[in-house]
Each structure stands twice: as C-alpha cells, then as structure tokens.
Structure 1
Amino acid sequence: MKPVYFLFLLLGVTLSASAQSTLTGRVMDQKGRALPGANVFLQGTYDGANTDSTGNFRFTSAKDTATLLVSYIGYEPFSKKISIGQSTPFTIRLTETANELNTVVITAGSFEASDEKRMTMLKPMDIVTTAGANADITAAMNLLPGTQRVGEQTGLFVRGGSGEEAKVVIDGMIVQNPYFSSMPDLQSRGRFQPFMFKGTSFSTGGYSAQYGQALSSVLLLNTTDKTQNEGLGVSINLANAALSYDHATENSSISATGYYGNLKPLFSLVRQNMDWTHVPEFAGSSLTYRLQPSKTGMLKFYGMYSNSRLGMNFIDPSNETGKTAFNQRNGNFFTTSTYTDSWAGGRWSLNSGLSYSYDTDATTFDVYDFGRSSERLQGRAVLTRLLPANNSLLLGTEASRVTYRNAVAGTQYALHDNYGAVFVESQTYLGRNLAVQLGLRGEYSSVISRFNLAPRISMAYKTGTFSQVSLAYGQFYQTPDYRYLYHNTSLNYERADHLILNYQIIKNKRTFRVETFYKNYAQLVREFTGQPHDANPYRFPIGRTDNSGNGYAQGFDIFWRDQKTIKGLDYWVTYSYVDSKRLFQQFAVAATPTFISNHNISLIGKRYFEKISTNMGLTYTISSGRPYYNPTNENFLADRTPMVNNLSFSASHITRIKKNLVVLYTSVDNILNTHNVFTYRYTPDRNGGPGQTRYAVGPQSYRSFFVGGMIMLSKKAKVNVNDL
C-alpha cells in the first residue's frame, strides 16, 4: 500500500473514532438495588447494551442528541432526551409495574369474596359448602367478622346496624326485596343463588361513593359472564325440585331455571316449633341471557319471578287467646339489564344498567288486612377514565322511582319517592406503597325534599410485600323508614359517620386481618307515643316523630383463614366485638338495641377427601346474649338472653352416572340440639299493670337436617375440586 493511501486511511479511522462518544451508567430500582439484564438503548438506533450483574451499562454512539430508553420486565419503561457528549454517568431508577403483589389495595371495611388477586374470602362454592350457611349468600356473610346473627329477624346486621341499614346490590343496581317475605319471629332466606355471581364484595362500612342509602353496609354481587355448565340439570331435595338449562355459543349464552317447592316432606321429618296452618309452598323461574357484541362489550339480562304461600298461628301476647292467625301470599318480580364496554385500549370504560322490581304481600293478621307492595324503577351509568401510573377517575349518576303501599287494619297508605344521585371518585397511587381514594356523593329525595352531600376518603399503605394498613372515613345517609314517612314527610335523612382502621396480611394461602371501627349516628328518627314502650316487633308507628335521635357503635373484628398448614383443610376463625347505644324509635333513654350481641365467634372448617370425592365441613358459632324488654325492670333494656351457640355439619359427594355429573349433599343444623333463645317477650296484664308472663322466642326447629342431589345431563358438566 502506498504511504499516501495509508495516511488517508489512518486519518479516516481517527476521524471516525473521534466522532463517537461513550455512554455509561447504572440502572436500579427505587430502593437502589441493581437491575441486571435491563435493556438500555437509543431510540431509532441499534446503539445500546444490557446491564451487567451490578446494573452497569456501557456502549458507544455517534449521535449528538437522542432519546435514551430503558426497559426491564416488571418495571415501568424509562425515557429521557439526552446529550450524547456528557461525560457524567447516567443514574436511572425504574418504578415497579403495578400488580396485585406490589401495589397497595384499599381494604378498610371491605371483604372481597372472589377476586383471588386481592382479598379472597368467600367464593360461590364456599357459600354452598360451608356448614350453617345453607347455600344462602346472606347467611354465609353472617359467618364473616362484623356481622351479627339475629335468628328471629330478616336482614344483614352489621356493626351495630339494623337489618334495614344494609343494602344488597346486583351489578350496581339496588335490590328492593333481596329476601323472601318476612314472617313473625322467623328469619327469611335470600332470593338469589350463589352460582349466579362471579364476585361478592361485602362492605362492613366505609364503602365507595358509588353507593348510598345504607347507613351500615352494602353487599355487592356481580353476575357471571358465562354459564357454569352446559345442558340440562335436575335437582331434587326435601324442600323443592328444579330444572335448569344452560347453553353457550361463541359470543352468547342463556340460562333458565324453573322450580317448585313444598316444605311438607321436610316438616314431616323435622319437628317444628311453629304452628303451621299452611306449610310454605313456592314456585318460580329465572332467565339469564348474555351477549358479547364486541371484544370489549358485554350485555347481560336477568329476570326472575317467584310466588309463595304460607300460614301459621304465631304467639301473640296482645291477643286473649295467646295466638294470632297469620296468612301470606307473596309475588315477586325482578329484572335487570346491564351493558359494559371499554375503548381506547381500556383507558375509558362504561358500566350502565336499568332494572325494575315489583313485590306484593297479601298479608292478614287474624282478619285484618296488612297487605303491602313496593315497586322500583332505576337506572345507572358510570364512566371511568384510567390515568397514567395506574390512577383513575370515576364519574357516575343514578336515578330511581320507588312506590310503597301499605294496608294497616283496613287503612290504606301510599308513598312515592323520586331519588337521584351523582358521584365522583378518584384513586391515586403516590408510589407503589400509598394509595388514596377520594369520593363525593350527592343525593336528592323528593319525598322529603332534601339534598345531602357525603364525602368519603380511604387510604392504604403497604407495610411489606404481603401486608398493609388501611384507613377509611365517610358520611353515609339514608332516607327514613317509609312507615314513618306515611305520617311525616318533613323528616330529614338519617346519618352515620364511619371511621375504620385495618391491618391485613395475605401470604401462602393464609390471611390475617384485624380491624377497628367507630360509627357516630345522628338525625335518627324518634317516635313519641306518650305510652309505655311497646315491644311488639310488628307494630305500626303512630306517634309524633322527629330527627332528634343519635347513637354510636364501636368495636373491632379479627379474621384468620388458613388453607395451607394442613393439606386439604381450609378453616377460618372470626371474632367480632361491638359496643353500641342508641336513642331512637320509641326509646326514652339511650340503650343497646335488641338486635345487638356484644360478642360473636365463628369457627369454620372444611376438607375435601379426594379418594372418596367428598367435601365435609363443620361450623360452630357463638353469640353472647342480646338485650330484651322486661316491663317489670325499671332499667330499660337491661336484661340479656342466654348465649346462643350452634354446631352444624355439611357434606357433598361428587360422582358420575353414565358420565353425567351427580352431586349429592346433606347437612345437619344444631347437631347438639341446643334449645337456643333469641329473645323474650311478655304477656300483657289484663288489669293494666306490667306484663307478668315471659315466653321465649327461638328457632322454628331446634335440630334439623337436609338431603338432596343434583344431576347434570351433560358430559361437559364439571366441578373444580379446588373450589371445594
């Protein structure tokens, strides 16, 4: 090679080398820990490198300015415009991508019942297989902390709240009549089957601004997006017989059920404490249709109708014979349709719904007409915007028209209420360890011509990989009981202020949770009759009313669930303590209401025996005594009933007959035959003095059993034993 050519070649190499710069730096997480293997490169070029075991990188580039990009699995991408010529090494800190393990979740006051990524407590199969729950959703909720078991009344009683203070919501829509019609001194079941729902969230207080008209709690039920089985199913037991049909295509499905029930076979085997004149008889049907019109859209329709009839002679101390005839025919219709969709890559989502319900009771006490009916039409729409860094903003509105009608010994009452609400809620993540949820709800009720504004705030801080603390505060309003509004529509909303603090750790299929709370009640309705206290639970209010009532409830709950220590065994333990007093209704002084027991304990255990394909469970519950009215005691509601305890057993066996799935089940309630007493009442003195004779109110049967079975006439039907 000639020297001149070699000189030019050497000069070219030298010039090329001098035009390139070296980039160095280190990639770490927010705690300063090295991230080896991170991909570091310049946008639009092939210049880049991977970090070494210490998180350091080094590469060269001929560009002057560029955008530096860094990516690492499990972390948010990093982007920064840089000058290539700078000599200082780059220090880059990446932020973890939000997921269920590293992101805090607001939990104060709330139990998720199926979201396994967050706070799995009870799944639909849990509800079916838990002894003592009798496949009733609300009965299963009574085995969670914060609830109280009130055997002679219907409803969810949560942290010092009455049964009227808890609402049941399906797909965002309030259910006007979630329970079968109430009967004297008996607790009614919920109307809905557990397998209708994919998720159950039970809030014991401090719930979202999306919901209102509940002073104590909400039970949120979300229907399934697909059928559980395919084909025809037949179910028969000592109480009823049913046919079901499920069919699914690629983007739609339909489920239909029809049933007839008569408790005469069961009552002939299980001794009753009630004097039945017409054994409960019922029939009904339901239809569910689901359509997925697009990849992101889902339309769901659910409708049901039920009809029932019963009659009894119940103990009535106000009657000279000591008993009063009670007869009832109930008809219930409920339908709801919802449409959900999302767009812009999921950044926007819509949840809307429309529902209608009608319920009527043709009820007589002796020869007097006490019939009632209710009707509700409601609509709802919620729009959610996902923001960067996993934050979100929610806007929503709902409206309903409710009609109540009552006959009281021949006198007719009617009431109409147009109710509207708007709400906004934001969720902000201040890093991966701290989340804040702010909400505001405004409500208007036409029947009382009043508006309220209810602020809500929740926050949570992640204390470890598997643990966190949560705090919630909020104001909650509820329109007074419609029976008071028949006489006085100038009443104000009743109000409760909630303050909740909780700690929770979930690790290796074990959950520990402790929560303390304080509730302040204000503007409660008081009734002034000018007469001695009337303990009759079926009385119709007639006195002057105002909102001068108040009260409080305070206490704590403990929950422990272990699905790991003993192979195949799933058990949980709950303990709830509540201290509460109120000045409301007919109370002349502040006192603990009759539906409150200070201590409630639940011990639940279940195990699946794979060799015999059988799941067995035991449930033991203990409740301390509740107050009852003793007219011979000068201290109001100072007496207490004995402790109530119950040991129950359940078993379910899975097999196949000609490749068709068969499930056989049995349960025994109150194995020990304990003669529990729920409350006491007193007979009136016919000479005008205080009551003289006390009698006990207890369960309709002390010890009972139940057997039945189901067969799916389809080879595709299956049960996941991991759910048992």
Structure 2
Amino acid sequence: MVYIVNQFIFGKTTALIRSSLLLTLLIFLSCLGAAAQTTISGKLTDTRGRAIPNASISIKDSYDGATSDSTGHYRFVTSETGARMVTVSCIGYNPYEKEITLNNQQIDLNIQVREAANELKAVVVTAGSFEASDSKRTTVLTSLDIVTTASANADVTAALRTLPGTQQIGEKEGLFIRGGSGEEARVFIDGTLVNNFFYSPVPDIAQRGRFSPFLFKGTIFSSGGYSALYGQALSGALILETIDLPEKTSANIGIHSVGGTAGYQHLNKKKNASWGVNYAYTNLWAYFQLVKQRVDYFRVPEFQYADGNFRIKTSKTGMLKGYATFQGNQLGLRSTDVDSLALKNAFTLKNHNIYFNLSWKESLSRSWRIYIGSSYSTNKDNYSNELQNQDNERQEIDEIPYSLKNYTAVLKGNLTTLKTVLEHRFRGLSAIRFGGEYLYFHDDMSFADTLGRHNVMNDRFTAAFAETDIYITNNLAAKLGTRFEHSSLLDRSNIVPRLSIAYKLGSLGQASFAYGLFFQKPEKNQLIVSQTLGYAKASHYIFNLQKVTSVNTLRIEAFYKKYDDLVKTYPGLNNSGYGYAKGVELFWRDKKTFKGVDYWVSYSFLDTKRDYLNYPYSIQPNFAANHTASLVIKKLITKWKTNINGSYSFATGRPYYDIAYNSGASKFEMRDNGKTSTYNNLSISINYLPSLSKPDGKFFTVWVLSVNNVLNQKQVYNYNYSYNGLIKTPVQPPANQFFFIGCFISFGIDRTDDVINNNL
C-alpha cells in the first residue's frame, strides 16, 4: 500500500497526460457490461413484530444494499454471486448477519433483529468529539470514508479537514483546529503519543501523514474537550486504534503512476493469531517529466515504506498487538531566493523514521479491564541549504541575510512511551478509569551554520490520570476527569481538570457541554534557546446539539477557547502571550435522501486573535480563516461496479503579515498586511471494480483514477517577504493539480475496499 504520495506531487498536467487519462477513463467505462443480477427484498421487524425504519441492509464487503422505509420494507439489486453475507445495522438493535446464496434468482428475506442493551439507548458525552467504530455514537468517518474522500489522497488528516473546526492549510503539515496552530494538535495510536506522525517539514510545502487509514479500526477526532486520558495538546487530539485480526489470509499487489505496492497478511487455522508485511515504493521522476513543477527538483522525491505486524488473541477477551514501520525518503529542490531574484536556495532533505507500537488489552474479571501500551520511535533528518547563482554554483556572501542561508543540520529525535489504564465498570453503565504514563524524549540537534550549535535535550514526562463515567439515568450522564503532569525538563507540574455533561433529547437527539484545561510544552526550537519557559494553557468551553440515526447525522457546536501563557519571542523568550478563539460549527451527513448517494456538508465560523511569537499586538493568526466549508459526495453505481466521489472545499482568505524589528523604535512592527484570495478546491475520484475473480472468489481487482483541483484554480496560501521588506512572493503549491491512475489486485480475500484509494 502506498501511504506516502506527498502533497508536493500535485502538478499542472500537460496535454499529453490529459489525453491519456481521458482515454483511460473512456476505456474503463466502455468495458462496463451488464452483469447478471439478483433482487433481494423483504421486511425488517423487531422481536415484537414492529417495523424498523431507517436500518441499513447490505451485502458484506460490497457496495450493494438499501435502507428500510417507514414500514420496514427494503429492496435492492446485486450483481454478486455465490455465498454472501447479508448484514443489518441499526441504532438501538444488535448487529445481524445471515449467509445466503446468490444465484440470479429473486430472494425474499424477512429479517427480525433484537433490541440492544440499554447502553445503546443511553446518552453519550460527545461535545468536541467525532468518533468512528464506537457503536454508542455510530460511525462518522470510517477508513473507507477516508480513502474515498476525493481530496484526501488516502491521508487521515486530509479527510478530517472536511469536518468542521479544521483549516485548509497547504503550506505546512499538521491539523489546524479552531484557531490553533498545527503544533497544538497531537496524534495518538493505541493510546500512546506519536512523535512524528507527519513526514518531515519542507519549506512552504505541507507534508502528509505517515500511516495508512486501513491500519486503524477506530478514529476519534476531538476538536476540543478531549478525555483526561490524553494530554499535551492545546487545541485537539486525533486518537487512532489499530485493527485486530484479519478475516482471512490474503495478499495484494499494485502498480500505479508513481510506484508500486505489495503486501501479505496471514491468519492461522485457529483464527486466533496473524502476522503481515507490506512494502511500498514511490518515485516521482516519470511523473515530473509530464507535469511541470513551480520548483526545480534536482533530487526527485523518492520514498520507501515497509511495515510488519502481529496480532494474538490471548484469551476470549484479550488481544496482544504489535506494529512496526520503517520509512525513508529524500528530495532536493531549488527555489528563487526572496532577497535576490538572481540567487537560488537549494534545499535537501534525507529522512529515516522507525516506529514500533505494542499494546495489550484484557478483561481481568467481569468488572475489571486492563490496557498496557508502549511505543518507541526514532527519527533522523539530514537538512541542508545552499545559496546558489543562476549556474547552480555555491555562493558565499558575508552579510545578513545571505550569510544565514548556507547551513546543514542533523536532527535526531527519540521517544519512548509506556501507558497503563485500569477500568472498573459498576452496575449499569457507570465506570471509572485510572492509570499513568511515562514518556522519555531525547533530542540531539546539530547545526553547521554561522553559530555552529549542538543541543541535546532530555525530558522525562510523567502523568497520572483518573476519569469516571456517571450515568444518573439513561437520559443524563457526566464524565469527570483530571490529570497530573510533570516535565523534568521544565521542572514544572500542573493539574488538569476535565468535565463533560450530556442530556438526551428525544429518542435520537442529545445536548452536551464540556469544559477543560489543556496544557502544552513549548516547541523544541524554543526550548533550544531557553529552558526556563513554562507550559502554554488553553481553557475550552463547548456546547453541542446533535441528532444521529443510521442514515443521517446532524451536529451543531459552539465553542470558546481562552489562551494564556503562549510563548512570545520578544523581548526574549517568555510566556506573556495570550489569545482567544470562538465560533460555531455545523455538520450534516445524509445517506437516504438521494438514492445511492452518501454526502456530508460541514461549515465553520471562526473568530480568533492571539498575541504570541513576534506579533506586535493581538491579531488574527495567518493560519486562520473566518469561514470554511466542505461538501463531500459519494455515488455508488452498483450496476457498473463503479464508485464516483467528489469533494469541494472553500475557505475565505487568510491574513498575511510582514512583521519586522524596528531598531529605531526597539520593537516589532507591521510593515505590510492583507488577506489572500479565497481557497477553492474541487476534486474527483473514480474507482472501477470489474468482476475479474474466479468462481471460487480468490482474485479481485480495482482500477483507480483521481484528479485534484479539477478546475485548475490558483491557490495562494501566504506570502514570503525579503529581509528589507521590498520584495513579496506568493506561497503556492508546487503545481496546481495532481493526477493519479493505478490498478490493484488482491488475492485470497476481497480487499477492493482497501485498495480503492490506498494510493490516491
């Protein structure tokens, strides 16, 4: 699987590639033939014979299915054949599965499902969080949602940018949430912090996440007010849980326009243990021959990815999981120097990253459960920059700012984590969770520049936490939590309270309120200069209204955040910064109104200002737009075995500033400011799943075509300024558009859902 097709490969296509892609698409569609079909119909009822509306009935591992109407009746057509599993899902009822044989004959199938335990009817605290794979909250975005979101390119965080509360940032990696910078959101895998979730930074080019969405079975995206079990994120948290055992032994291969993939997953005969490996290689040389880039890549981006995993069911309720990745990439690019248009900056990066995660869950008794997780990561970046003339020859100019532009840097970062959580469930739904975590950060940074610095920093960060779910009734619940945190590097501690309350409104609606304090250490580049800095602090207030059914979701949320102790860089590094963020957000997802269409709409209004870093006073940060919106549409054409996906994202212009030090006035001042043009991006992807499998169903294939920024609109993310402020150049993507085409084949199990967009 390719998890690493980076955003800097977006390119403006030539006439040749446009013609080739169009021809390929026409060939795809012309090959679509009318397949034999089976009609399945019936009525869905509960154990009392009452009709169940708005339930989802489908053929497992296919796109074929329907939703029951107000009388419980359903009907759909499928071209699948042989033994297949019919599944039913509906809020408040136990999942249902039944094997049937599809032989092109009409099937009448009346289904009776049982009402689920009371916990599915109980109110659930959700303020600030979108959850997937949690039956109490239903699914918002699944792994398949992520990879079939046309603009996401199979990147978890890119898909999340279609949800409310996030910003459309193209020049820097990270999740920018509700007025917070990309550094103010953290990612956790199986409960432990990930130190380098994104690929290493490249000037003015956002980097994607390192991990495939199909690694994860559960996704919790918290845009504020997250659980006391997690910390050190001012704005929000992305909490990911890896998958358990696979269904069958399987293999897959893929060939696409920028590389290839291969993988194997083995499940033992007892179906209680598995292991697997994957490898992916990406090289953009051929692509760059067809697609013109704004920057000169003298070292073409090249990526290698390998992973291995094992999963062991230690008991009926226990699971031991291990996962390791190795990733390496390199690139080199030249861009015009902003201080002198006659000079260039030649930037190079070589990166190696290793990540390992080990976790164990087990029920100790009917009421006690334990979780133990650990992870280790090491990341090494070799950076260099060289000032060059028009003949690409190195230049040495002994005056500022040119003297600062020849440098090399070796940045090494290691993180070791250990976390333990004990949970005790009381009678009913109430529970208490408590535990602790230990994180050891080791950073070694060497800079060969005018200062010749070498810094080593170690931090032993410890935390203890406790959290309880209190169900007063099925209609009223509260979540109370607190954390204690201590950093040996800062030699400071804090106590972090969290509170959430939820009240049920009718059968499917509820209201929630959340409050909490959130702290975060300064960034490494700030601690290099001064280790006397303290924690930054944010207070979150969130009010949420939502109504969720199996076919639609409506969510409205208002929030207010107050920032204190933000880092200021003048005069000297200190914690005198402050700010606020407030706004309203809307999310609507609908799977019923239009037959065969699943779509969602999100909108965010954000009002935020802050005084931090070198800002001369409180201003709107340059990563925050006042209005953002997204529309994602997915159309399944079962007759053609084709999935057509489109996404459109919009954002009003973001502010840009030229802030410089005025030596005469002894302070930083604003030399220039304005707003960028509005952001617009329409993307599409088409996934064709021809029936190339043998009768025993061992071989499956999928063709993929994807186009980003279909309308070829010019994007300007920000502006760079010369040292004297006389020159201003726009920050833009390396190319306006990106085109992708690929073919993927899986063996042993139908994994077409997985490969539909694993490489988009």
TM-score bracket for the superposition, by shorter chain length: 0.7 to 0.9
Structure 2: how far apart are the matches of 1:228 and 1:665?
A: 24
Q: Does 1:642 align with 2:677?
A: yes
Asked if the contact 1:591/1:637 (under 8 Å) is kept, the reply is: no
Partners of 2:642 and 2:170 in 1: CA distance: 30
Contact 1:126 1:723 in 2 (8 A): no
Q: Does 1:572 align with 2:593?
A: no
Q: 1:120 to 1:722 in 2, by over 3 A?
A: farther
1:215-614 matches, within 5 Å, as 215-227=234-246, 230-249=249-268, 250-318=271-339, 321-345=342-366, 347-366=367-386, 367-408=406-447, 409=449, 410-528=452-570, 544-614=572-642
C-alpha deviation, 1:663, in angstroms: 1.3
Instruction: State yes or no: 1:705 paired with 2:739.
Output: yes
Go from structure 1 to structure 2 and tell me whether the alpha carbon gap of 1:405 and 1:300 turns closer, same or farther (over 3 Å shift).
same
Q: How far did 1:266 drift?
A: 2.1
Question: Normalising to structure 1: TM-score of the pair?
Answer: 0.82
Equivalent of 1:126 in 137, 142, 145: 145
Structure 1 segment 607-626 matched on structure 2, within 5 A? 607-626=635-654
Partner of 1:692 in structure 2? 726
Shift of the 280–568 alpha-carbon distance from structure 1 to 2, 3 Å rule, reads same
User: Radius of gyration: which is bigger?
Assistant: 1
Distance in 2 (alpha carbons) for counterparts of 1:430 and 1:509: 29
Q: What's the offset of the Cα at 1:356?
A: 0.5
* Secondary structure of the structure 2 residue equivalent to 1:657: coil
CA RMSD of aligned residues (A): 2.3
Q: Decide which of 184, 201, 209 is 2:228's aligned counterpart.
A: 209
CA gap 1:697/1:114 in 2 versus in 1, 3 angstroms:
same
Instruction: Supply the distance in 2 between the matched residues of 1:503 and 1:722 (Cα, whole angstroms).
Output: 34
What SS does structure 2 have at the residue aligned with 1:209?
coil
In structure 2, C-alpha distance between the alignment counterparts of 1:129 and 1:116, rounded to whole Å: 22
CA distance in structure 2 between the aligned counterparts of 1:284 and 1:214, rounded to whole angstroms: 28
Relative to structure 2, which stretch is displaced further, 485-494 or 126-135?
A: 485-494
Contact 1:227 1:254 (8 Å CA) reproduced: no
Task: Quickly say closer, same or farther: Cα 1:99–1:698, change in 2 above 3 A.
Answer: farther
Contact preservation (8 Å) 1:100, 1:118: no
Given residue 183 of structure 1, which amino acid in structure 2 is its aligned partner?
V
User: 1:290 corresponds to which letter in structure 2?
Assistant: R
- Structure 2 residue 193 is the aligned partner of structure 1 residue 154: no
Partners of 1:627 and 1:640 within 8 A in 2: yes
Counterpart residue identity of residue 614, structure 2: Q
Cα displacement (A) at 1:435 = 0.5
1:405 Cα offset (Å): 2.2
Q: Secondary structure at the match of 1:341?
A: strand
Q: Specify whether residues 295 and 153 from structure 1 end up closer, same or farther in structure 2 by C-alpha distance, changes over 3 A only.
A: same
Is the contact between residue 627 and residue 637 of structure 1 (CA under 8 Å) also seen in structure 2? no
Q: 1:708 to 1:172 in 2, by over 3 A?
A: same
What is the DSSP-based 3-state SS (H/G/I as helix, E as strand, rest coil) of the residue aligned with 2:473? Answer: coil
* Identity value in percent: 41
Among 637, 648, 654, which residue is 2:689 paired with?
Answer: 654
Q: Which has the higher contact order (CA 8 A, sep 6+)?
A: 2
In 2, the alpha carbon distance for the partners of 1:717 and 1:525 equals 48
Tell me, in whole angstroms, the C-alpha distance in 2 between the residues paired with 1:723 and 1:260: 16
1:650 shift after superposition: 0.6
Task: Render the CA deviation track for 1:471-505: whole Å, top value 9, x for unaligned.
Answer: 00000001111211112111111100000000000
2:146 alignment partner AA: I
Structure 1 residues 191 and 720: CA distance shift in structure 2, 3 A: closer
Query: What's the CA shift string for 1:394-421, capped at 9, x where partnerless?
Result: 0110001101122332321121100000
1:507 Cα deviation (Å)? 2.6
* Shift in Å, 1:99: 3.1
CA distance in structure 2 between the partners assigned to 1:636 and 1:416 by the alignment: 39
Cα separation, 2, equivalents of 1:693 and 1:718: 51
- Report if the CA contact (8 A) 1:617-1:651 is conserved: yes
Contact conserved, 1:508 with 1:564, CA < 8 A, in 2? no
Residue 337 of structure 1: CA displacement? 0.3
Is the CA contact (8 Å cut-off) linking 2:605 and 2:626 kept in structure 1?
Answer: yes
- Contiguous gaps of at least 5 residues in structure 2: 1-47, 50-91, 94-114, 387-405, 661-667
| SS of equivalent residue, structure 1 residue 138 | helix
Structure 2 letter corresponding to 1:652: N
SS of 1:119's equivalent in the other structure is: coil
What letter matches 1:252 in structure 2? A
Q: How many residues align?
A: 613
**Separation of aligned partners in 2, 1:715 and 1:561:** 30
Judge which range, 99-108 or 487-496, deviates more.
99-108
Cα 1:393–1:255, aligned 2, differ >3 Å: closer, same or farther?
Answer: same
**CA shift for structure 1 position 138:** 0.6
Does the aligned pair in 1 maintain the 2:368–2:425 contact within 8 Å?
Answer: yes
Deviations 1:594-618, CA, capped at 9 Å, x for gaps = 1111110101100110011010011
* Cα separation, 1, equivalents of 2:174 and 2:688: 31
* Amino acid of the structure 2 residue aligned with 1:550: Y
Work out which of the residue numbers 665, 671, 692 in structure 1 matches 2:710: 671
Distance 1:100 1:506, change over 3 A: farther
Counterpart residue number, 1:52: none
| 5+ long unaligned stretches in structure 1 | 1-35, 38-73, 76-95, 530-543, 686-690
Q: 1:642 to 1:360 in 2, by over 3 A?
A: same
Q: Give CA-to-partner distance per residue, 1:193-240, whole Å, 9 cap, x none.
A: 011110111000000000001001110110000226522210121222
CA contact (8 A) 2:148 2:756 kept: no
What SS does structure 1 have at the residue aligned with 2:214? Answer: helix
In structure 2, give the amino acid aligned to 1:334: Y
**How big is the shift at 1:368?**
1.1
Query: More deviation in 117-126 or 546-555?
Result: 117-126
Instruction: Please give the alpha-carbon distance, in whole angstroms, between the structure 1 residues aligned to 2:756 and 2:355.
Output: 33
TM-score, normalised to structure 2's length?
Answer: 0.78
Deviation at 1:164, TM superposition (A): 0.5
Q: Which moved more, 1:503-512 or 1:109-118?
A: 109-118
Residue type of the partner of 1:225? D
Residues 616, 669 of structure 2: 8 Å contact kept:
no
Provide the C-alpha distance between the structure 1 equivalents of 2:443 and 2:474, rounded to a whole number of angstroms: 48
Residue identity opposite 1:237 in structure 2? H
**2:213 matches 1:194:** yes
